[in-house]
């Protein structure tokens, strides 16, 4: 008979933070509040994540287990001097559980920490980070974006800004209704969605919403705070009948707000495989094959459409990687797809 494996313990015999551990999530929240230049930091607070803290408590990694793998999301959050210890702790968690370890969305800052444990890097895209001081709607560079924003003005769209704590009750009801109309599944997402729906859990987040001429909410974005100077897009929702350009208008309005309030960065999303969709991405046989393979996932996410939308902002930033052991490629890919989309 196969023996039942013991629960993983951290160094010193401590159990890692469990799924739904509110106290651990509050500890993680304090680290998010002091993070800097990490657009994925707020998503460590997603309620279905477990936590691996460094022994000094100054860094944390959010993760989940799926298909016999411990899958981390993004870089460690917190004091960078404690990142190596947090990575060591997660690798120890995997060892004690007799599970492999993989990482979805590692950045350059942590890549070598994972590589030191034998994980290989596969580039999967880039962050999209707008710096308000360098952003504008003038010049040929932003022509497509400017035209999209202008269409919403011509359609009579108006925009409102709120902190989530102050959104009027009737507007909250409209936003939740819009989530339902748009078919937004809050259970989806692992690395870049918080998974809550305007329930008061992020009172300091910023909500920017668009109304049509009739006063109906036709689009909304929620931006989470990632440290004192950064905002990162969490929930983008759009009514199927919204005028073209609503999402571009909401981003432009949010960046303008950020500029007026001294914010340094506004993270929009993650641009998958920008080199593949660039002008020379399909010049080779391998590029053409990858292009066809990526489009096989269109029922889950229309990757090329997302890329074409995000490139309007000219804000591609640092790379993101999947980190894994090469012998576990198939299992890791399946685990990550399940975590993100099911």
* 228 and 271 share one domain: no
Residue from 202, 188, 211, 210 nearest 231 by CA: 202
Distances (CA, A) of 34 to 9, 196, 230: 27, 22, 10
Question: Which of 230, 263, 296 corresponds to the end of one domain?
Answer: 263
* 30 and 90 share one domain: yes
* 291 and 247 share one domain: no
Q: What is the pLDDT along the chain (342 residues), one digit of tens a residue?
A: 333 333 344 444 444 555 457 899 999 999 999 998 899 999 999 999 999 999 999 999 999 999 999 999 999 999 999 999 999 999 999 999 999 999 999 999 999 999 999 999 999 999 999 999 999 899 999 999 999 999 999 999 999 999 999 999 999 999 989 888 765 555 567 888 887 778 878 899 999 999 999 999 999 999 999 999 999 999 899 999 999 999 999 999 999 999 999 999 999 978 888 888 887 788 788 888 888 888 887 777 788 889 999 999 999 999 999 999 999 999 999 999 899 887
Residue from 204, 291, 210 nearest 247 by CA: 210
Question: Which of 241, 263, 285 corresponds to the end of one domain?
Answer: 263
User: Which CATH number characterizes residue 198's domain?
Assistant: 3.40.630.30
Reported residue count of the chain is: 342
Residue-number span of the structural domain to which 165 is assigned:
132-263
Give per-residue burial for 233-248: e unless 16+ CB within 10 Å, then b. bbbbbbbeebbebbbb
């Amino acid at each position: 008979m196969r023996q039942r494996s013991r629960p993983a313990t951290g160094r010193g015999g401590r159990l890692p933070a469990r799924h739904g551990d509110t106290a651990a999530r509050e500890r993680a929240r304090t680290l998010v509040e002091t993070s800097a230049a990490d657009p994925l930091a707020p998503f460590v607070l997603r309620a279905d994540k477990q936590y691996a803290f460094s022994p000094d408590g100054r860094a944390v990694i959010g993760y989940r287990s799926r298909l016999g793998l411990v899958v981390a999301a993004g870089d460690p959050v917190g004091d960078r001097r404690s990142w190596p210890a947090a990575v060591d702790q997660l690798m120890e968690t995997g060892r004690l559980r007799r599970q492999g370890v993989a990482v979805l969305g590692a950045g350059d800052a942590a890549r070598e920490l994972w590589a030191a444990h034998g994980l290989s890097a596969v580039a999967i895209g880039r962050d999209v980070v707008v710096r308000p001081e360098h952003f504008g709607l003038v010049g040929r560079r932003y022509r497509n974006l400017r035209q999209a924003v202008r269409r919403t003005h011509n359609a009579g769209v108006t925009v409102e800004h709120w902190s989530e704590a102050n959104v009027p009750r009737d507007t909250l009801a409209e936003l939740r209704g819009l989530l339902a109309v748009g078919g937004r599944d809050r259970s989806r997402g692992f690395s870049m969605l918080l998974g809550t729906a305007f329930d008061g859990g992020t009172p300091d987040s910023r909500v920017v919403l668009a109304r049509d001429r009739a006063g109906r909410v036709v689009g909304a974005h929620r931006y989470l705070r990632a440290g004192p100077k950064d905002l990162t897009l969490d929930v983008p929702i759009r009514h199927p009948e919204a005028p073209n350009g609503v999402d571009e208008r909401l981003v432009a309005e949010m960046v303008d707000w950020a500029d007026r309030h001294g914010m340094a960065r506004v993270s929009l999303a993650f641009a998958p495989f920008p080199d593949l969709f660039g002008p020379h991405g399909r010049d080779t046989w391998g590029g053409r094959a990858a292009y066809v393979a990526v489009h096989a996932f269109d029922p889950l996410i229309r990757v090329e459409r997302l890329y074409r939308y995000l490139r309007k902002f000219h804000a591609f930033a640092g790379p993101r990687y999947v980190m894994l052991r090469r012998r576990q490629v198939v299992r890791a890919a399946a685990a990550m797809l399940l975590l993100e989309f099911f």
